[in-house]
Amino acid sequence: MVDGQDGADRVEQAAVGGVPVHDGPVVVAEYDPEWPRLFAREAERIRGALGGRALLVEHAGSTSVPGLPAKPVIDVVLEVADPADEPSYLPALEAAGYVLRFREPDWFKHRLLNGPGTEVNLHVFPAGCEETARMLRFRDHLRTHPADRERYAAAKRELARRTWRYVQDYADAKTGIVQEIMRRATAPGG
Does residue 4 surpass a pLDDT of 90? no
Cα–Cα distance between 146 and 76 in angstroms, integer? 23
**Count of CB atoms within 10 A of residue 96's CB?**
16
Does residue 121 surpass a pLDDT of 80? yes
Phi, psi of 119 (to 5 degrees): -70, 110
Say which residues have a Cβ less than 8 Å from residue 57's Cβ, sequence separation at least 6. Answer: 43, 46, 47, 76, 77, 78
Does residue 12 surpass a pLDDT of 70? no
Name the CATH topology of 22-186. Beta Polymerase; domain 2 (3.30.460)
Structure confidence at residue 64 (pLDDT): 98
- The mean pLDDT of 79-91, rounded to a whole number, is 98
The string of pLDDT tens digits covering residues 131-184 is: 999 999 999 999 999 999 999 999 999 999 999 998 889 999 999 999 999 999
Q: What are the sequence ranges of the domains in the chain?
A: 22-186
The string of pLDDT tens digits covering residues 123-143 is: 999 999 999 999 999 999 999
